Amino acid sequence: MACDRRVIEAEERTAYEKALRLKEAEAAQKREDELRASLSSALEVEKKAHADEVEAHRKTKDQVSQLVADEREKAVIEYLESDELGEEVAGLFRKVYIACLDKVKELYPSLDLSGAALPSDADDEGDNREARVELRSTNTGVARFAWNWSRRRPT
């Protein structure tokens, strides 16, 4: 009997230890599940934050690109409307016109081209000056058309 009693006590202790280890295993599993859920939600939050950061970077990049394009276009338009361009275009026109006139005189010496001369730079009075200013704004319009044409996208 004493032997049976010891066996019974040992079985009870073993059962108790087994139940205790089972509760500890369940508690550990529960903690592990909670940690996994917490880690999963933290990972989702981190993914969302990263996606938001990437989107913000893309938007900023697009905005900077648009600002650069706008400023470039403003600079080109400002140059197209400047006196500097008008004077440059008028000077180039004058050079080419004189070269063409010289070539025509060379090829057709019998023609009277005395009336085909451009007004001189010293002649800045009255209608001639206004005509040059008007011509300059027309040249700017042509230059702007050429600028817009060069920027068109192929269809």
Amino acid at 29: Q
Q: How many residues does the chain have?
A: 155
Note whether 89 and 143 are within 8 A (CB).
yes
Neighbour count for residue 112 (Cβ, 10 Å): 6
Structure tokens at 10: 């040992």
Tens digits of per-residue pLDDT, 54-84? 999 999 999 999 999 999 999 988 888 888 8
Q: What is the pLDDT of residue 63?
A: 96
Q: pTM of this prediction? A: 0.44
CA gap 35, 106 in Å, rounded: 96
CA gap 80, 146 in Å, rounded: 11
Query: Which residues of the chain have a pLDDT value below 50?
Result: 121-122, 124-137
